[in-house]
Amino acid sequence: MTAEPSLAELARTAVARARVATVTYPDAGAGPTTLAVSLRCDPAGRPILPTPRPCLRHAPVSVTVTAAPHYATLRLTGVIGEHRAGGDGRAPEYLVALRSLRFTGRGCVRVPLADYYNSAPDPLWRDAPRVLGHLADAHTPELVACARAHGLPDTEWVLPRWLDRYGIELAALTGAGVSRLRLPFPNGPIGSLRDVPMSYRYALTCHCRDAGQPD
């Protein structure tokens, strides 16, 4: 059984999490133009971007967002497609018709476009930053004990790096260096934190270090 997200799921999650993207497109007479823009997407995961001029429709464009946990960026390439009139005082926007997707960082890994469209962002992506921060702040001793019990007996320290519907990923520091350790959810994958077994749920959802609360 699969115990971690597919490349397509990671790509959809990276796009869902991104609030800013780096966009590169041709600018006649000035060469390629690169700028940072606010990123929105349609339900299929296609970027919706502001562009300076309608004449750029059908021009090639690349959209780059930060990716995790194992890659540096996700690069989406395509062409500037249909025009969408801005509402409520917003500037006009353009839908990017995607042609390819690639992760960069540890090599260059292509994501099949059909798989991307048939996937969805991980259901825990909104909760993950808060949960991982809480685990690092309040539950490091328990995570160290957990890593030691799951095949890394000389673990000295851990950092929770990723949370998804399949489980939690830790970076464990041992005498031999840093190791990657995934702790799958029993009976996973899950659809929300409410589906996490009680043995995990307390640490993931407690508020023992919330502001105003004693340690």
3-state SS, 106-149, equals CEEEEECHHHHHCCCCCCCCCCHHHHHHHHHHHCHHHHHHHHHH
The total number of structural domains in the chain stands at 2
Query: Tens of pLDDT along the chain (215 residues)?
Result: 558 999 999 999 999 999 999 999 877 666 788 889 889 899 999 999 876 555 577 889 999 999 988 899 999 999 988 766 655 666 678 899 999 999 998 789 999 999 999 999 999 999 999 999 999 998 999 999 999 999 999 999 999 999 999 999 999 999 999 999 999 988 889 999 889 877 777 677 776 655 444 33
pTM of the model: 0.85
Instruction: List the one residue out of 123, 118, 126, 119 whose CA is nearest residue 191.
Output: 123
Residues 169 and 99 in one domain: no
Residues 113 and 137 in one domain: no
Residues 132 and 111 in one domain: no
> For residue 140, is it within any domain?
yes
End position of a domain, from candidates 63, 91, 117: 117
> CB pairs under 8 A, 24+ apart, for 153-158?
none
CATH of the domain at 68: 2.30.110.10
